[in-house]
Structure formats: structure tokens, C-alpha cells
Amino acid sequence: MTGGGIEYVGEADYVIVGSGSAGSALAARLSEDGTRSVMVIEYGGTDAGPLIQMPGALSYPMNMSRYDWGYQSEPEPHLGGRRLAAPRGKVIGGSSSINGMVYVRGHARDYDTWEEMGANGWAYADVLPYFRRMESWHSGGHGGDADWRGKDGPLHVTRGPRANPLFRAFVEAGGQAGYELTDDYNGEKQEGFGPMEQTVWKGRRWSAAKAYLKPALRRPNCAVTRGLARRIVIENGRATGVEVSRGGRLEILRARREVIVCASAFNSPKLLMLSGIGPGAHLAGHGIPVVADRPGVGQNLQDHLELYIQQACTQPITLYKHWNLVSKALIGAQWLLTGTGLGASNQFESAAFIRSRPGVEYPDIQYHFLPFAVRYDGKAAAEGHGFQAHVGPMRSPSRGAVTLRSADPEEAPEIRFNYMSAAQDWEDFRTCIRLTREIFGQEAFAPFRGKEIQPGAHVQSDDELDGFIREHVESAYHPCGTVRMGRASDPMSVVDPEARVIGVDGLRVADSSIFPRITNGNLNAPSILVGEKVADHILGRQPLARENVQPWINPRWQVAQR
């Protein structure tokens, strides 16, 4: 059947745009009992191949146009006009197929804050059972809070072997500096130094596609179709399908029940705006008829920034010794044949969450520790052997926006993070650098500590540190917030607490774009959580029973930084 040159090629009960962290979880849960059909639209291709599947190769897919949308920010005014990379997955599994595989739920207080901001039913007591439902947690015999974790969910969560002595040194140094230790930051106690968790299983990346989508695709009622979602078809105030371009043809996939947009913090607001849902004046300026004037669409953009604080290592024990073609080939061969070795971990095996100052109730600084001095784009430090901490504040007050560049769906959106626009950001990052230097200066690092590679010991004053921050700060690739969830009465809310787009029937958004505020740590786990929980709302199920457990909060938080 055709109409106006557009062909209606199929229909399903639910049409999901995007096969990423939340989209994959939704596809699995909505198709689970076999009574409803699900169609997932994905623009990217297959996730097969060693560069995606090998955890140790994580810097490659993130920098490959085959797997990444390749977005960049607009010139950032507070960072000297730098344009920062803003990768998002363009592949089955979305960003869960190209991310760093770090697994962090976020702090309990993050979700309590969501509820205070109008996302009723999203407090920690509400979301904890969903985290447990999605996890298969494996501590590897290294402690942890089994009572707070899930045992039989689809998402495998493991810990690296922490064989390199530097992983232990980092945690010991934290203790020596007077910080808390924690053996499970995803359990009762986030605050402190301890092991880091990863979505790796049997030596391979365990993406949302592996955990959820691929098992669902074995069912007759779940399918993926390749194509670019151009707009949501809205008839008489109701979403009825998605217009897709495929092979030069325009097609419409009909949704008998609902359309669910899970296309990322960049592409979800873009798709809503192309469909006439967003700030009325902005849409009119691009000649797009306004269906629902929602000024919050594309606003409230948040992210985490981080610095790499790098220290030379006096012993030849870092990953630098493998920074040559022969070693890389051997690591790759061992991984291909056995699924073991250095290739089987993302190498982020120790972590910390600390508070920046007295009066901060729960951690606002995160550390990833790496026994190597290297950048995300794979450029090694010239100095040779070294180690580094990725460090950054968790709750920046800066807010940016995603807007349309044009009404052409093929064109990338304009992404303005407005990074470092608040004085607090600069103060927080200077604190991050000084606290990291103190940690690296502890006795535990004495056998390994060489000179400071970056920023360099000569960079000390506030002005010098600010110059370093301006030049070297990088995105941690945690964009969120652009389709904010809140009360239907709040003019800046875009979706209600059941993820329904306010003002349009039959349409939901479920991914990191709906976060009212960014969570503590990496965003893959909270994004999957959104898919899990929204699935129950869509199916009209009673939400899982609340679990009223109390997280550990430092009893001295009002008077002490540690």
C-alpha cells in the first residue's frame, strides 16, 4: 500500500527506534510473553567482529565511523572554542556496543533526587528491584554486597582480575589518604576506593544487544529493521508509526499500540523536533509544523567531563610494554583462541567515589584507574611507562542543549554542552587535580612513582590549573537529560513519570535523555534500568515492590571531606 510516494511496509504492536541500552531491554521485555509484536528500527549494522567484542580493544569502535555517529560539539565557549567528540553507537546494541563497559548503577540519592524533581516512582526504593532484575552479578569471590545485587538477570556484571600491582596500590593509597574503602560501590556503600565492575562475560563485551536483543530476536514476534528514522507519524494527536528511509525509499512502519523512541540524548530530541514536538519557535524557524509545543525538548543537556592525571612509572609493569604490534597481535590471538588474557578486560579494574569537600552528602567525584598513560583515542603518553586516573566531578551545574541544524533528517543535530560555564566547575576540577596528586603521593605508590607527566609538577596556581583544564578536559561520553522526565504540569518536562510524551498519545521516550539529572558514574546501567522499568509501565504491570533499604552515607559528611 502506498500514499504520496511513501510505502507502508509493515506493522507491529510496538515500534522501537534504536537498539541501544534501553531499546534492547524494551524489545526483550515487551516481546517476552509472545502475545505482542515488536519491531526495532536500527540505522547501524552488525556488532560482529573482534574490535567490538574484545574488551581490551575498547578505544577502536568508539573512533570508527562504521560504529559511531561521529558527532562533535559546537565550539565550546569556555574551553577556548574547542569542539569535543560526542560519540554515540551506530550499531546493533547502540552505545553499549562501543562504550568502556564500566558498570555503575549510580548513587541511591541520585534517584531520590529524580523523584524530588517530579519523577514520581523513580526513587531508589523503586529502582533498586529493577537493577536486581537486570543483573547477573559475579563477584569472582572478591566480596561485595550479594543482598543488594541481582543473581539471574540477562546482564552479566563481572570484575577484572586486578592482577597488576598498580590496581592494588591505587586502593591502598586511597586508604592511606584517609578515604573509605568499599568492596561494592554498586551495593550499600558507593563512597570509597575498591574494585571496578564491567559488563564483560567470558572475556567478551556483554552489551545490551547480547543480554536482551539477540535472545529476543529468536522469538517470532520480535524483529529488527535497518533504516534511518526520519520522523514519527502523528495522526490526530496520536503517534501511529515511524517514517524510515531505506535504500533511497521512504517507508512507514505502523505501530498498533505505541512508538517508543530510544535513540540517545542527541537523536531522541532530534527525532521529536523533526516530528513537530519541541520548542515552537525553534520548530517554526525550520518550517516544521508544531504538533506539541514542548520547550524542554533538547534542553537540560548534561554530561560528565574528566581529566587524565598521568604519572610516570619507575617499574616496567604497565600496559605500555604491550604498546607494539607484536604484543597487540599476541594479546589478540590469545583472546581469539581462549577468551582470556589482557584482551578480556577493559583494564578499568579499580575505582573510587569520593566527596570533594565537607557538606557534600554523597560522592561527587569519580575515579577510573588505569595502569597505563594513554588517551581514549589510543594515543599513548610519549614518556613510556605510566599510570593514570580519569577524574571528574559528577554534578556540574552547567547545562547545554541539542537543537536542529536544519529540517533535514540526514543532518547531525547541533550539540552545545556549554561545558564549564559555572564558576563551581572550575573550582571542582582544581579540587580533583589536587586530591589526585595527594593520592598519587601516598606510600602505596612509592615503589612505582616517577615524575608527574600531566599536568606536570610546574602547574600549581589556580590560573595554571585552569589553563590545563581548558586545554585538556574531555567528555566522559555520558550525555543525558534532553527529554526530561517530570510532572506533566511542569512546562520544561517532556515525558511524565511513565515516560509518555506530554501532549501526544501513543508515544514514549526511554533512554538517558529522560534523566532529570545526571547520575553518579557511567550511564549504561541507568539507561538499561530505564528500558526495564518503562517496559512494565507500557505493559500496565504493577511496578516491582519497593525495597526500603538505606544506603551508607558518611556519618561525618557535614564536617569532613573524608
101 is in an annotated binding site: yes
Total number of residues shown for the chain? 562
For residues 303 and 319, the answer to whether their CB atoms sit within 8 Å is no
b/e burial code for range 375-411 (CB count within 10 A of at least 16 → b): ebeeeebebbbbbbbbbbbbbbebbbbbbbeeeebee
Question: Do the annotations mark residue 35 as ligand-binding?
Answer: yes
Count Cβ atoms below 10 Å from residue 314 Cβ, excluding itself: 15
Q: Which residues pair with 394 in a beta bridge?
A: none
Q: Is 142 among the residues known to form the active site?
A: no
Q: Is 73 annotated as a binding residue?
A: no
187 labelled ligand-binding: no
Residue 80 is labelled as binding a ligand: no
CB–CB of 163/371 below 8 Å?
Answer: no
**345 annotated to a ligand binding site:** no
Choosing from 107, 282, 478, 537, the catalytic residue is: 478
Binding residue per annotation — 524? no
Residue 19 labelled as part of a binding site:
yes
Closest C-alpha among 276, 279, 271, 277 to residue 288: 276
Residue 517 annotated as lining a ligand binding site: no
Q: Cβ(156)–Cβ(136) under 8 Å? A: yes
21 is annotated as contributing to ligand binding: yes
Select from 481, 441, 473 the least CA-distant residue to 455: 473
The reply to whether 534 sits in an annotated binding site is no
The residue written with cell numbers 573510587 in the block is: 352
Distance between CA atoms of residues 416 and 120, nearest Å: 29
- Residue 211 has what DSSP assignment? I
Q: Is 117 annotated as a binding residue?
A: no
Would you say 196 is a known binding-site residue?
no
Q: Is 30 annotated as contributing to ligand binding? A: yes
User: Is 102 marked as binding a ligand?
Assistant: yes
How many other β-carbons are positioned within 10 Å of the β-carbon of residue 323? Answer: 16
CA nearest to 59, candidates 351, 477, 466, 507: 477
CB 191 within 8 A of CB 361: no
Binding annotation: 13-42, 91, 99-102
Annotated binding site for FAD: 13-42, 91, 99-102
Give the residue numbers marked as catalytic.
478
